[in-house]
Structures are given as structure tokens and as C-alpha cells.
A and B are shown apart, each in its own frame.
Chain A
Amino acid sequence: MNTYLSIDHVGISFPTTKGPLKVLDAVNLRVEKGEFISLIGHSGCGKSTVLNIVAGLLQATEGGILLENREVNEPGPDRAVVFQNHSLLPWLTVYGNVRLAVDQVFKRTKSKQERHDWTLHNLELVQMGHALERKPDEISGGMKQRVGIARALAMEPKVLLMDEPFGALDSLTRTHMQDSLMEIQTRLNNTVLLITHDVDEAVLLSDRIVMMTNGPSATVGNILRVDLPRPRDRLALAENPTYNHYRAEVVKFLHERHRNSSGSRETPAESQPRLKRVG
């Protein structure tokens, strides 16, 4: 078993007044080192639950997570999370937020000066070196998310977990952030697990797209390998037939699933994946 990260028959149930509710059932996924994986599915299908289990924030009731052949069942900086709503500490500056993480992770291995430099380095990486002393309230949503990414990258995680990191951003900012993320990814070659409901985002960024079925008892429905050369350019890809084929595959999957789950409580507007042209 040489798999880097393995999600092994993971299931989770939550107790409700009507008995236990099975949210995930037998989720299986093997991730190689340096792979960029997207998890896509309708809202409420349990994508974020998968991520939280990998992060250790939730405990699987069945199966488990193996990272480098070691079981993980508690949170840790080796699986840094970029939260959807940035989750920066509002009383700390941009620098302070990243420095807190750096101090915590490298308190024994790096000197004070090295930690300072490492904090700056990661903020430069996400192009936030100009706003070190700003508070989260004083910067835009995109910038906050950049700081959140810097904080996660600064932990030097084995796996970077991103929970719909750009979901709350406007589409222009989102494309900027995706480009930044691709650029960082070419440099660092992290192992990334990205939760998204944006089809374009998934195809553009991923090596593989994991499509989740609708809950309850959601599981992996299909896995699509995206064989597009890197670096990828969103403008060039817009005309690329292979790219559009991948896109269509994902959209088709999501639509069929949606039709199949007539009992779904979601409103159509909510469950509709974002269908927008790139570029």
C-alpha cells in the first residue's frame, strides 16, 4: 500500500430524534502525493463532512483515514484546513493570524527570526505582503481568503484541505483566486483536497474530480480523471474540446443525480450547479 492518503470505507451517522441519520456510507478514495482532488456534489450531500473527517474535526463512525499509513483521528496542522468563511481571528492582524499558526507549528524547529521570515514568505506567496498590519475587518473577502490560504500553507501540511474556499466570493475574485491557487500549486505541488460545487473550478484545478451522490448515505458516485496539461490557462481551455467534454461529464452527473433524487428537500435554485462559461 503506497497510497499517500486513503479514505477507507468511511461512513458517519448522526443521532437525530428519529433515530440515527446516515450521512456518508462507504466513501472510498485513494490519493497520491501531490495530487489535486476536487470533491463535487449537490449542497448537503456530505462533501464537507468528508473533509471534516479527514481533518479530524469529525469522527467517522465506520472506516477510517490513513495518512502515510498512519491512522488519523484528531485534528492537526499536517492537515491544514482553509475554511469557507476564512475563520481569521478578528483581533489579530493579517501577519498575526499567520504568525500564530507558524509559532504553533514551528515553535521548536524554527528560530524567532526564521518564523518571522516564514510568515512573510507565505504572505508574499498569496500576494498579501502589502497588508501585514491590517485587521481582517479592514480587507476584502478575497484578501481574507488569501490570508486563510497563507495560514494553511504556512503549516506545511501533508494534505491541504479546502472547504469551498472561494464559495463566498464574487465570480471575478473567484477566478483570480483560482489562478493564484494554480500558480502556488505549480510551485509547491501540495496534496490538495478541495470541496466545491463549481464545475469549472473543479475541472480547471483538479487532477481528479470525485463526484458525490446525493445524501443521505452519500458516497462516491464517479471519479473523473482530468488529463489536461499544466499549466492550465482558463482562456485557452474555454475553446478546448477535451476541457468541455470533462465539464459536460460533471454537469451530466450532477443533473442525473438531481433528477434521481426527487425526494430531495432542496430548492432547485440551491441544487443547480453553477453553469457559467469560463473566461
Chain B
Amino acid sequence: MTTRWFGAPVQRVEDDRLLRGHGRFTDDIGEDALECCFVRSPYAHARIITSIDAAAARAMPGVVAVYTAADLPFGGVDLPLLIPHPNLTHGRTQRCLASDIVRYSGEAVAFVVAENRYLAEDAAELVQVEYEPLPVVITPEVAARAEHLVHSDVPGNIAAEMLQEVGDVDAAMAAAPRRKRLRFRYERGAASPMEARAVWARWSSDEHRLTVYDSTQSPTSIRGGLAVLFSLPESSVDVIAPDVGGGFGPKIMLFYPDELLVPYAAMQLGRPVKWTEDRQEHFTAVNQERGQVHEVEVGFDDEGRLLALQDDFLHDGGAYTPYGIILPIITSAQVPGPYRIPNYRVRFRDLYTNAVPTSPYRGAGRPHACFVMERTLDAIAADLGIDRIEVRRRNLIQAGDFPYDVGVAWQDGNTVVYDSGNYPVLLDKAIALLGPKPAGDHVGMGIGIYVEGTGVGPYEGAHVQVLVSGKVVAATGIPNQGQAHATVWAQVVADELGVDVKDVEITSGDTRRFPWGVGTFASRGAVTAGNAMHVAARMVADKARQIAADHLEADPADLELAGGRVRVKGSPDRGMPLGAVAVLSNPVRYAFGGGTEAATQFAAKPRPGPPLQDGEQPGLEATGYYSPPGSTWASGCHAAYVRVDPKTFRLEILKYVVVHDCGRVINPLVLQGQIEGGVAQGIAGAFYERLAYDEDGQLRNASFMEFLMPYATEIPAIEIDHIETPSPLNPLGVKGAGEAGVIPVGAVIGSAIEEALGVPITEMPLSPLKLYELSRAHPT
């Protein structure tokens, strides 16, 4: 291997078509598809008191079909509960279309198929549904009081409860020289990818084949589910996630009702069918996250060392629990972060509310966990009059402590064990990068350190093939939503095969090319699929060496792959092009061009015996898998200076620095983009965006005019530095990076504003109004 693509700032191979407007997103696929529109519940909680009357809609010209639950063979089936867990004692999932009770505003009740979306929307207005409103349960605090129930058969609105303890918290707390009780609150937020969701489906009765395009983060799982639902072999179902316009978590959820209804309608109607979500319904139809309330008690000594921590929190689960209890499990596991906490007890209750269901959104349970821990450390610092940085330094896990067992449950069924890291160095570098405090009044410094469990299993796979042209094609099951998979995996493969990165073409998220795998989520792409690419490419390289060895009359161990050739180490002129090896890998009867005459039966035979010998397979290709033994733990430290105008309460972020460790870096350009984008999303969630439900369960800001996603004018420049502590768990030594940027931002901004304005910050998100009210309540 002479060229090292790994680690180089390779410019993206996917840009050209996207920049020319030749990307292919799900809604770009037409083929004369029928278009659809949902009828959604306007009530957050109501009983449907008569059968739904769709007669007028069905009679409208241009309308092809209107489906209600009564019209569906699976209308009475609950949608899958994706991740069951023993503590999820009262898991509930919705049905494709509600027919009895609706439990959030936006829940689907009917599905209209028409010649185009305009007509579908017209017809949806004609569908008559009579509702009897029921009492609405909104916010986790109200849910916990259980004066009303979201599900009549779920006592206390409690979907799940879980208690974990490491050490002896009661004893340690009782013995602690100092104790503090704190309460923290995080509101709901929304991932809001720029492309909302979309599904397109075609049923070919001639071929008995279902083809689905879906803006999903997991086409392989969609394929598995559709095959089960429609009693088809998986090989008769193709699911493709084409270009996907951002995911950030909620597109990993499955099944949304449309993911069943669109294929079903296509099979019923014999025409392609497409549903494209609009922005308004995205706000009430797509999963959300982040609502939690934490009650914390911390015991510490006079030097600020943590002795015991107890966190009892409520998690706003929403109306259903399709994604299980992964979010509060992650929060529970990630509260301790990079700190040594000898005695830790965490309990959560996952509560039903009459709001959109929750499932991971970039950060997934971690921004809130980090906020709780970092704000607690700030409170300890304030209590003792010790510098905030010093308090952190005294509690950090040290470089020699790895592997470090936290002792609590992790989302993959294992316990949390940090594989590697160097947190004190992260902190030192961040402080150095941050530099001196800018002059002026109302300037505050904030700091936050986090760890992130990345690269969860179970596995991903990859197929790598060298073509007779010498070009390489490779595929994996997990789809791309902008993370530059086609570039970074080409780098991994190119290194193993000794070819130019431009000669490697990657396909991802297309079950026709690679049918197995899980999905793109949990900062796991680089770890799982990246290592699978590495494994598969290495298998191909080994095979190439074997084949070439016969022809070059050399020992395979003496061969190397470089410059698109297999050659003898030290004698670069003794070698053959990789494409020629691909030719020889497939003994043929008929030459078909591209040099294949060299592999026909009358060509010179380099070795005795049958052309394909025992255990050999034709083709210079291999399929490899990587299944991680446990998560890899990335980490980072963010710090910032902010200024808050004491009159208008406008926030100005004067400087924001990030020091990041995701193990070995595949492509620094791509990594920088992931971090910059993550921090921006964190700033958005800290000061601009929130989901404002009123007590009737109506989302009051369901548009981009009121849900304040920041523009460039609101996001500052971000300075980034790295350290690399390779993961010992995988061959590439990589850790995930996708979610890192977002995690500590709330903690950092909160801490900085608290210092700038001198008001206590215990909740997220903030706003000028919130700061005005806090400054009124806490006059200086």
C-alpha cells in the first residue's frame, strides 16, 4: 500500500450531480405516480364517534381511492414495536390509520390517493370525521400526575420505569460533606431535515415485485417489514433510499403509516403511488425528541470531587412507544459523561403524553444528559467558589483509566465501557484554543465536556468488486443523508486495493445492491459500514494476491497492491493490472471483451487442475461484515464566550471552540462539516428552536415562520481542533462523529449565559423572552 487516502481531505465525489441539480430524491421520481394526502386528527386526544365518511371525497373527480382503517386488511394491526425491552411493561404503538381513539394532533385517520397532490388535498377536506374531544395530557409533569390517561389501560401513564445503581448512593450521599439538589428541564425539539419524508412505490404484477423508494435511514429494515406484511420473500422486495435530504434521526423510525400505505395502494391500484410530506404535516407527523425533567441530588467534598449522584427523571415519550425506551436508556447511561462518579443512581419514568411520539434526534438523549451533568458541576463550582474548569479537572477520568466501566446499561444490551480517550487533554486544548476573555460587560464563558457512545451494532456489511476494467464498485446497506459515504468509503477501499479513490464507486442504501444491514443512525456509519468496507476490501486484496501469485510465479506474501496493480514488492515492474486479475478470477468459455480472452480455456494455463478449484468462487469480489464487540466512545470539549445584551437580551456568540476526538479521522473535511453542522444544530436547539405545545396539545409553531431554525446570520464561525485516540475495538480505529457537535451545546451556552447575565440557567431552550423574565425574577 503506497497511497494513503485514509486521513486525507479528499473532496467529495457525490457533489457534482447534486450541484448540477441531478440528485435523485424520492419526490424527484415521477413515472406518472398517483399522489396522496393524509387526513389527520386536529385533536390531541379524541374519540372518533362515527365511522369516517369518505363518500364525498371518493366521488370527487380525480380521486382514485380513499382508505380508512376499515378498508385495510392490516387496519386492525398495531404497528411494530421496534425495540422491545423488559422494562417497557406498557409499550403501545399506533395503527396505520386510527379508527377509534386519536392520541396526538396529526395522527393519521384517512389516506387519499388522487391524480395529483392538489386534488388529494381538495378531497381530504371532504372527508368527514366526527370527534369527541378527550382530556389532553401534555408535558411530562402533567403526565406523571396521571389525572388523565393517554391510554386507558396504562396506569399512571407510565410506559416504562427503570432504576439502576452503581455503588451505594444512599451511604455515600449521607457521608458527603456537601449536598445539593437541582432541577433541570429540557423542552422538545425537532430534527427538521430540509427534505421532509417521502415514499414512492411500484408493484409489478408481471414480475411479482415490489419496488419502494423511501427517504428512510434504514431501507433494509423497511424491506424486511414489507416482506412480512405482504407475505413476499425478501428477494421480491427492493427498497432504495436514494438521495436523502438530511435525516438527523427521525427517518430511522419505521414504520410511519405511509411506509405501508403507499406500497399497499400501489399494489391495489396497479399504478405507481407517491406520497410527499409537506412541511406543515412534517411538524405533526414526524417523531420528535428531547422533552425531559431531571431531579438531581449530588454529594461532593470540599474540593469539588463528586461522591454520589442521583438523578430521577421523567421522559416525555409522546403518544406511543414505537422506538422502545432507547432514549431514556441513553440518557441514563450518559449522565456521568467523562467524570468519575463512584456512586451513581438513575431512575427514569417514560411517560405517555398526547404529543407526537419520540425517537432519536441527533444527540438522542445525550444533550439533556450533558446539560444535567455540566450544570451540576457549575453549581458545585459556584457553591465552593472554585473555578469551573478546575472542578472539571478534578473529576475527569484519566488517560490511564481505560477501558473504563461505568457499570450502567447501554443501548446495545451491554454495559457502558469506555474504550479509549484522553479527556484532560481535550479540556486543556479547548481552554488554550478559547484564549482570553474578551473585554466588555455581560460577557460569559461556558464549557462542556461530553462522551458519546457511537458505532452500535449489531452489524453492517459490504460488497466490494474489482471490475475487469480495473474500476472498483462497492456497496453497503446503510443509506447516506449527506455524510459523504461515497467519498469516505471509497477512501477506505482505495487504500486496501491500491487504487485511486476516483476509481471506486460506492452505492449505499439500495437493497438491490446490498440487502443486509441495519441503518444510518447513532453515529455508526464509519464504525460499522466503514469497517465492513475495510474487511471486504481486504478479502478482495487477499484474493487478488492469490490469483496474481499463480500468474507472476511469486509468493502471495511478496505481493502488494499499488497504483492499480498487483506487483512484487521491491520489483514494481513485475506485476499485472488489477483489472487483469479480475479477468483471471473468472474462468470463461466465451470472451466478451475487456481483456476476458485471457481467461478462456485455450489461453495459457498457469496452474494445473480445474479452472475453479475447491473453495474458489469466480469474480474478484467479496462480501464482508463487521460486528462491533461494543460501542466506541468518542468525546469532546466545547467552550464559548458569549455576550448578552442586558436590555434586548439578544445573544451574541463571540467565540465557539471545539476539541474533538473520534479516534482516527478518515476525512478531515467531512469531519469538519459534521461538527460545524452539529454545533449549529445545537445552537438552534439552545436559543432558537422549540416545539411549543399548548395545553390542548396543539403545536403552536408548526411552520418555519415560527419554528425558528437559524439562518447564517444567527450561527457564528466555529474553531475546531482534534486529538486522536484510536478505538482499540475495530480495525480502522475509528469512532463515530455524526452527533458529536450537537451534544454539549446547550450546556455550554447555558453556562455562558448564566455568567454573562447573572441569572440561573436550569432549562433549555432559552430565548430573549426567557432571559428577560429570568432577569426580572433575579434582579442583580
Binding partners A and B: no
**Residues of chain A having any CB pair with chain B under 8 Å:** none
**Residues of chain B having any CB pair with chain A under 8 Å:** none
